[in-house]
Amino acid sequence: MTNTTHQGIREAIRARIVAGEWQLGELIPGEVEFAEEFGCSRTTVNRALQALAEEGIVERKRKGGTRVRPLPSPQAQFRIPVIREQVESRGREYGHRIVLRELRDPPGEMRTRLQIGSGRKAAYMESLHLAGKHPFAFERRWVNLATVPGFAEADLSELSANEWLIRTVPFSRGEVGLTATSADARLAAMLEVEPGEALFTMERTTWFEDRAVTAITLYYARGYRLEFGI
Amino acid sequence: MTNTTHQGIREAIRARIVAGEWQLGELIPGEVEFAEEFGCSRTTVNRALQALAEEGIVERKRKGGTRVRPLPSPQAQFRIPVIREQVESRGREYGHRIVLRELRDPPGEMRTRLQIGSGRKAAYMESLHLAGKHPFAFERRWVNLATVPGFAEADLSELSANEWLIRTVPFSRGEVGLTATSADARLAAMLEVEPGEALFTMERTTWFEDRAVTAITLYYARGYRLEFGI
């Protein structure tokens, strides 16, 4: 027999929520039904439901009844990190070094992603971002020369490819994919880790209006962590 | 000698921006200085700067002069994925299985993170999230029993720990860290991958008001990618 004080009813309803009687976000019975079931007044049920709402266990709407609190799906929001700033915020000096730069036939998947016509070459670059003397991230970059014709001859002795592109082509939108990569021999050599080491990896493709600009893959050195609040 | 039409001046200023003469976000000379330098009218300079602003190469403010467009720092925004939905959106049936559940002394770092008093135990769980018959993610979870005393005896035969906690403790805020982990023998066995495989890893700690609730580490199976737009 349920204790029919408002506290007793609050705990009885709580127990049924916690036991999974209703789905997250599902409507639970109204004051009338609970009052009948528990043999108490609507006012008492109302007080019990109000207490659960104040705790955040249920949500009540004026005419929408009372629902179990739905699954929170917290929105994460964070700034895509700028490597120079990440390095400098660790109190290290940022540096970067181009390892390879050439015109290349992109592999099929990259050709599709960057909308590069068949038979056309793209600019391909590999570069190393440094924190002091240590590798911080290794970057592979493809650039669509139809969107950014000047990139093939761009002077990248002072500016990074990223900075050069920002000065040349406005950014419209991008797609980001985060994943983990097992270091092959080349990544291991570049990042000074053992082959097979797990590397946090960020892929990013950017567009100017409808035209693909660049696709990069950044392999971060051992121990990197991307952090943000929700 | 610069071509002193507005197009000529526009291209001369663009070339200097692309060559890195000014930092991203830096003020460039005003109309008066450029007019003097190029030997043309302020109106012509104004027209050139306006064209560069429309392209998105510079930013002009009424009284703030003209700046090289600053480094874009795109805000990423995405929903922290709900595993059940991730699995179901791939057209697979979601399942989950508790592998281990006990009270344990948390290691020092976890004790600090979850604010667990010295000498006190915490609830520890390992569970496997399944897509059909295949492992989708392996979860390690600590729960602070001072914040959620009922968790030690919670019936988790129907509800996942996550769902049970949502029904019991309102969510206030969380911290997320993304990283890559090399599978040790246990992770490899659980996720049916080779030892050493690179696993995308999400750590998450959540609080209710100032009280730590739970800290989880999710190791995703091979090939997982977290995607979002910027």
Residues A200, A224 contacting (CB under 8 angstroms): yes
Q: Average pLDDT of chain A?
A: 91
pLDDT score of A135 more than 90? yes
What percent of chain A is predicted at pLDDT more than 70?
98
- In order along chain B (230 residues), what is the average pLDDT of each group of 10 residues? 85 90 90 93 93 89 86 72 85 93 95 92 96 96 95 88 88 90 97 96 93 96 89
pLDDT of residue B109: 93
Q: Per-domain residue ranges for chain A?
A: 6-68, 83-220
Determine the pLDDT at residue A54: 87
Give the per-residue pLDDT at A90. Answer: 86
Q: State yes or no: ipTM above 0.85.
A: no
Chain A residues 190-209 with CB within 8 Å of chain B:
196-201, 204
CATH of A6-68, one of 1.10.10.10, 1.20.1440.230, 3.30.565.10, 3.20.20.80: 1.10.10.10
The CATH superfamily of A83-220 is Chorismate lyase-like (3.40.1410.10)
B59 with B72: CB under 8 angstroms?
A: no
User: What does the DSSP 8-state code read for residue B153?
Assistant: G
Contacts of A180 in chain B (CB under 8 A): 180-181, 198-201, 224
Q: What is the pLDDT of residue B132?
A: 95
pLDDT band at A29 (very low <50, low <70, confident <90, very high): very high
What is residue A116's three-state secondary structure? coil
CA nearest neighbour of B67 among B107, B110, B102, B24: B24
The whole-number average pLDDT for the span A15-42 is 91
Q: Tell me, what's the pLDDT at A73?
A: 67
Contacts of B43 (CB under 8 A, 6+ apart): none
Question: Tokens for B205?
Answer: 């700690």
Phi and psi angles of residue B34, each rounded to the nearest 5 degrees, phi first: -65, -40
Q: pLDDT-based confidence at A163, cuts 50/70/90? A: confident
pLDDT recorded at residue B188? 97
A82 vs A110, higher pLDDT: A110
> CA–CA separation, B18 vs B82, rounded Å?
44
- B173 touching A, CB under 8 A? yes
Would the CB atoms of A56 and B228 count as touching at under 8 Å? no
- Which of A209, A77, A101 lies closest to A147 in space, CA to CA? A209
- Of the two residues A199 and A158, the one the predictor is more confident about is A199
All residues of chain B having their beta carbon less than 8 Å from the beta carbon of residue A200 are 178-180
Supply B222's token pair. Answer: 């091979």
Long-range contacts of B199-202 (CB under 8 A, 24+ apart): B199/A180, B199/A198, B200/A178, B200/A179, B200/A180, B200/B224, B200/B225, B200/B226, B201/A180, B202/B176, B202/B177, B202/B178, B202/B226
Chain B, nearest residue to A162 by Cα: B71
Nearest chain A residue to B177 by CA: give it.
A227
| Beta carbons of B20 and A150 less than 8 Å apart | no
Dihedral pair phi/psi, residue A128, rounded to 5°: -115, 130
Q: What is the largest CA-CA distance in chain B?
A: 83
Give the number of other Cβ atoms within 10 Å of residue A23's Cβ. 12
Confidence bin at A1 (pLDDT 50/70/90) = low
User: Which runs of consecutive H residues, i.e. helices, occur in chain B?
Assistant: 6-18, 31-38, 42-55, 83-89, 108-113, 161-168, 185-191
Amino acid at B129: H
**Residue A229 pLDDT > 70, yes or no?**
yes
